[in-house]
């Protein structure tokens, strides 16, 4: 599992508690990184995770070079975030998201989200108040 813009790491921690073999957390904020490490320790989790600190695009390119693939990717960028298509292009174009993978992006309901582009398509959107979850899958 890949937890991008991980914040406190809650999504990745939940995945680990439910049997995920490995979670990669990507986060740039120093305080958030401290919280991820603290939460992992509080939960007694000492293995099965990796934390990548810094720019999301650089971290994703690193994972792509390593041929990392995720069954599930969850992204929770800041609501003012705009380059959703660029993130999806890297995930699907690099093989991080491969056939059978799911990508979920949490975003503001007014955000303009890509429908489908080369290699991926939006298959579902769930609205929860001002938030939405958009679900993407590879085009096979």
The answer on pLDDT for 81 being more than 90 is no
Q: Per-residue confidence at 140, pLDDT binned at 50, 70, 90? A: confident
Nearest Cα to 57, choosing from 22, 28, 30?
28
pLDDT digits (tens, 9 = 90+) for 58-77: 999 999 999 999 999 999 99
Question: Pairing between strand 49-53 and 23-27?
Answer: parallel
**Phi and psi angles of residue 63, each rounded to the nearest 5 degrees, phi first:** -65, -40
Residue 115 three-state SS: coil
Domains of the chain: 2-138 (3.40.50.150)
Per residue, what are the HEC states of 6-58? Answer: CCCCHHHHHHHHCCCCCEEEEECCHHHHHHHHHHHHHCCCCCCEEEEECCHHH
pTM of the full structure: 0.94
Counts for the chain of helices (H) and strands (E), in that order: 4, 8
Cα 13 to Cα 27: distance, rounded to the nearest angstrom: 14
pLDDT, tens digit (0-9, with 9 covering 90-100), for 5-30:
999 999 999 999 999 999 999 999 99
């Amino acid at each position: 599992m890949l937890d991008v813009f991980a914040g406190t790491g809650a999504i990745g921690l939940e995945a680990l508690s439910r049997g995920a073999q490995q979670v990669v957390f990507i986060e740039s904020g120093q305080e958030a990184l401290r919280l991820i490490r603290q939460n992992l320790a509080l939960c007694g989790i000492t293995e099965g995770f990796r934390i990548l600190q810094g720019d999301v695009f650089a971290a994703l390119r690193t994972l792509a070079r390593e041929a990392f693939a995720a069954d599930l990717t969850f992204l929770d960028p800041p609501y003012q975030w705009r380059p959703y298509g660029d993130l999806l292009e890297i995930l699907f174009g690099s093989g991080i998201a491969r056939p059978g993978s799911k990508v979920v992006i949490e975003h503001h309901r007014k955000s303009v989200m890509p429908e489908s582009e080369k290699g991926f398509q939006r298959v579902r959107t769930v609205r929860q108040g001002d938030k939405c979850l958009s679900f993407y899958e590879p085009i096979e």
